[in-house]
Structure 1
Amino acid sequence: MYRKIRAKIKEFERKIGKLILDKSKKENNIKFESIKKILFIRYDGKIGDYMVSSFVYREIKKQRPDIQIDVVGISKNESLFLKNKNVDNFFRLKKTKYRYLSPLGKKLKASNYDVLIDPTEVLKNKDLFFIRKINAKINYGYAKENYKIFNRNIEQNSDHMQVVYKKILESLGFRNIEISYDIPEDEDSDRKVTEYLKKHNVKGLIAVNLFGAGKTRKFNQEKSLELLKKLGESYPEYRMILLDSPRDREELNKVIEAADGILYYDKSETIFDSIAIIKKSEIVISPDTSIVHIGVGLNKKVTAFYSRNKENFDKWGIDEKNKVIRYDKDINEIDFNKENI
């Protein structure tokens, strides 16, 4: 009962906030050659989304190296953008609260951005507040048909998010866009992982990630061991290495203790360590879309686990050359005896 009441209050607050903050913005048909500064709002912090959209920054600079590309993000994706040679400035929000959004919005307004791009499908009042503060000439969104503040928009559709990003660039005047992922690398991570694998005399390697973002996308200990046993039987000539998951280390340690001969790079600290491991692997197994898309971007053989939610898969799925295993409500329902891992 409490949750239902709270949800209704939140919905009412959003409606009131939208009435106050979502004001019509003048249409601006800025010419391609006149675009000088673009700001991306990326404080959702989703690493998988970064990978899917990573080509955008490269393609802008390829055709218009003079355009300044800035990004607003949080600490979770900061290292990725700082490594991206095509991003000029990264502005980190400590927290997505009004007291942090307001001064940063005022600062960004002084930059006079030509284009602001925010592909987030669901906006909160504070997001509208922040976008109004920045006051770019063009506010470009996706699925923002019901928002007045966006004067350019790609209507909601079933296209993959790669295609959505491509359409945004095309409508701004960019052509011949290559949508292959631009996976970041770190030399220090590469060196340390190479030394670790050499120490363990690894020839063929399978990178296994056991945990997705939601509870229903995490393998429990029993299912994890079942998966590892199945992989060991199917690929006896390969070694398996478990990828780190900081939020799930307690469960991960239980699996490591119970499994025989499984590698785990315990010095893993950042996403770049996982990227370095995946680079050295031939096969990638994961229910987490960030790891899945890194594997795809590095041209690995990927086995991914997705729910049967068609809308989600259309947006964030992978192509048919990879292996996709679907489940209904919980990933632990999967019967590995019936699946060709």
Structure 2
Amino acid sequence: MIRKLNRIFQDYMREKRLKIGRYIWDRKEKKEKIVAGNFIEKNSIKSILFLRYDGKIGDMVVNTVMFREIKKQYPSMKIGVVARGAAKEIIKNNPYIDKIYNYEKNSKKIKKLANEISKEKYDLLIDFSEMLRVNQMMLINLCKARYNMGLNREDWKLFDKSYSFPKGEFHIVEVYKKVLEEIGIKNPNLDYDLHFTEKEKQNVEVLLNNFRDKKIFVLNPFAASKHRDFNREKIKGIIDIILKKENRVVFLIGEKKREEEIENIIKEYSEDVFFAKLDSIMETAFLIKKADFVITPDTSIVHIAAAFKKKMIAVYREDLNIEVKNKNLWSPNYSGAVQVFSRDLDVKKGEESDINKFKLEEIDKIINN
């Protein structure tokens, strides 16, 4: 009861904070009118700043489409990206990005970052937030780009240009395609774009050196929410299914904090099951590139695998309304991947459903067909 009341209070206060924040920061001096036609060319856009401060790996993987397609058509365009956490790793080797800015959730550091960015005088700022928090409003205001562009911002003074989601069911990449078309990039290539250092490649090649004659299966048991983590029974069940046939090896991936948990499962197998001890998300991405098959409940890994069109089983929940949308919005979106759905019929209203209500028989049929 106390927890429920606290949640109601926090929701109430959040709404108040957002209203106050918008009152303070939703303003911008409009010096120039937008000229119709190809937005980049007609409005002399020479630099673009992308705001990706959510830290989401999967979103950043999809966002790589935009960096490449803009640079292909406008090689001299300056591209900057505000990012944080592991999402920065996804783009640190990207040849189409000129500068990466580190975002931290601290108002003083945000003001300092905005001051740094404002001195570089970006022509266009593109924000991808569905809901703007106060610190994000402040950042956009203080960056002082010539034009600000955002999602469904028609009634905001802070934004000069707005875009909306496509109609009906759509995949997330269609949003990025729509933004590209809004600024003048027609018929873009929608393949994702990941780049690796030689050291990252070498570290993975060393890991795989003794398994050149085997099929490499990458199993990612974990996701951002504990309700989307595979449990021990499902992890072991999937491993057993993979090892039904010879000449296969299973590499489990996960953050270092999950190592002990994974090792406790691995010790039940005498061979062909390993924890991939890698140093970064990019090394993990290169392991996925080298793999023959990927299994995951996490959309970050789904999008990394999609960059290389790997054979994949992606497990999604299908019992909540939001997941009905997610199975399309965040789907693998290519023919080499199969979606398997967890149907938690016992979940109570207001609770998060369990990813583990899928049938191992479905996994078996796909892998060993």
TM-score by length of 2: 0.85
- In structure 2, what is the equivalent of residue 250 of structure 1? 260
Tell me the CA shift for residue 245 of structure 1.
2.4
Asked whether 1:32 is paired with 2:46, we answer no
Q: Summarize the alignment of residues 1-341 of structure 1 with structure 2, pairs less than 5 Å apart.
A: 1-23=5-27, 26=30, 28-29=33-34, 31-33=39-41, 34-93=44-103, 95-145=104-154, 147-157=156-166, 158-233=169-244, 235-264=245-274, 266-308=276-318, 309-319=323-333, 321=335, 322-328=337-343, 329-339=353-363, 340-341=365-366
> What are the superposed Cα offsets for residues 307-334 of structure 1, whole Å, 9 maximum, x if unpaired?
2212223322122622001124211122
Q: Judging changes above 3 Å, is the alpha-carbon distance between structure 1 residues 6 and 201 closer, same or farther for their aligned structure 2 residues?
A: same
**Which string of whole-angstrom CA distances, capped at 9 and with x for unpartnered residues, describes residues 80-105 of structure 1?**
32211110011113x22111110111
Contact 1:48 1:289 in 2 (8 A): yes
Measure how far apart 1:200 and its partner are.
4.1
Secondary structure of the corresponding residue to residue 66 of structure 1: coil
Quick one: structure 1 residues 202 and 211, their matched pair in 2 at CA, closer, same or farther if it must change by over 3 Å? farther
Match for 1:97: what amino acid?
N
Q: State how many pairs are aligned.
A: 339
Which has the larger displacement, 99-108 or 314-323?
A: 314-323
Cα gap change, 1:28 to 1:239, in 2 (>3 Å):
farther
Contact 1:207 1:285 in 2 (8 A): yes
Does structure 2 retain, via aligned residues, the 8 Å contact 1:28–1:137?
Answer: no
Post-superposition shift, 1:24?
Answer: 6.0
Q: Distance in 2 between matches of 1:184 and 1:264?
A: 25
Partners of 1:137 and 1:314 in 2: CA distance: 35
Cα distance in structure 2, aligned partners of 1:278 and 1:56: 23
Shift of 1:257: 2.2
Letter of the 1:18 counterpart: R
Q: Which range moved further: 66-75 or 135-144?
A: 135-144
Amino acid in structure 1 at the alignment position of 2:131: V
Q: 1:266 to 1:166 in 2, by over 3 A?
A: closer
Higher deviation after alignment, 25-34 or 266-275: 25-34
Contact between 1:28 and 1:138, CA under 8 Å: does it hold in 2?
A: no
Moved more, 129-138 or 151-160: 151-160
Q: Aligned AA for 1:29?
A: I
After TM superposition, where is structure 1 displaced by more than 3 Å over at least 4 residues in a row? 24-28, 143-148, 338-341
Q: Kindly tell me: are residues 338 and 299 of structure 1, through their superposed partners in 2, closer, same or farther at Cα, counting changes over 3 Å?
A: closer
**CA 1:250 to 1:146, structure 2 compared with 1: closer, same or farther past 3 Å?**
farther
Distance of aligned partners of 1:337 and 1:152 in 2 relative to their CA distance in 1, 3 Å threshold: same
Identical amino acids, percent of aligned pairs: 31
In angstroms, what is the RMSD of aligned CA positions? 2.0
AA aligned to 2:205 is T
- Relative to structure 1, the CA distance from residue 8 to residue 248 in structure 2 (aligned partners, 3 Å threshold; closer, same or farther) is farther
CA distance in 1, matches of 2:257, 2:67: 30
CA distance in 2, matches of 1:144, 1:333: 39
Partners in 2 of 1:116 and 1:245 — Cα distance?
33
Which ranges in structure 1 are unaligned for 5 or more consecutive residues? Answer: none
Q: Judge conservation of contact 2:91–2:194 (CA < 8 Å) in 1.
A: no
| Distance across 2 between alignment mates of 1:334 and 1:145 | 42
Deviation of 1:265 (Å):
5.0
Cα distance in 2 for partners of 1:298, 1:44 equals 24
Deviation at 1:260, TM superposition (A): 4.1
Q: Distance in 1 between matches of 2:197 and 2:89?
A: 10
What is the SS of the residue equivalent to 1:54? helix
Helix, strand or coil at the partner of 2:90: helix
Which amino acid counterpart does residue 9 of structure 1 have in structure 2? M
Q: Aligned to 2:316, what secondary structure does the other structure show?
A: strand
The 3 A distance-change label for structure 1 pair 259 and 211 is farther
Q: Is the 8 A contact 2:94 2:194 kept in 1?
A: no
Distance 1:217 1:45 in 2: 19
Q: Which amino acid aligns with 1:50?
A: M
Deviation, 1:52, is 1.1
SS at match of 2:341: strand
Letter in 2 for 1:32: I
Return the alpha-carbon distance in structure 2 between the equivalents of residues 225 and 218 of structure 1.
Answer: 13
Task: Go from structure 1 to structure 2 and tell me whether the alpha carbon gap of 1:172 and 1:25 turns closer, same or farther (over 3 Å shift).
Answer: farther
Residue 271 of structure 1 and its aligned partner are, at CA, apart by 1.0
> How far apart, CA to CA, are the structure 2 residues paired with 1:7 and 1:86?
40
Cα distance in 2 between the residues matched to 1:335 and 1:210: 15
Q: Deviations over 1:147-201 (max 9, x none)?
A: 4422212223443221111111111112231111112223212222222222245
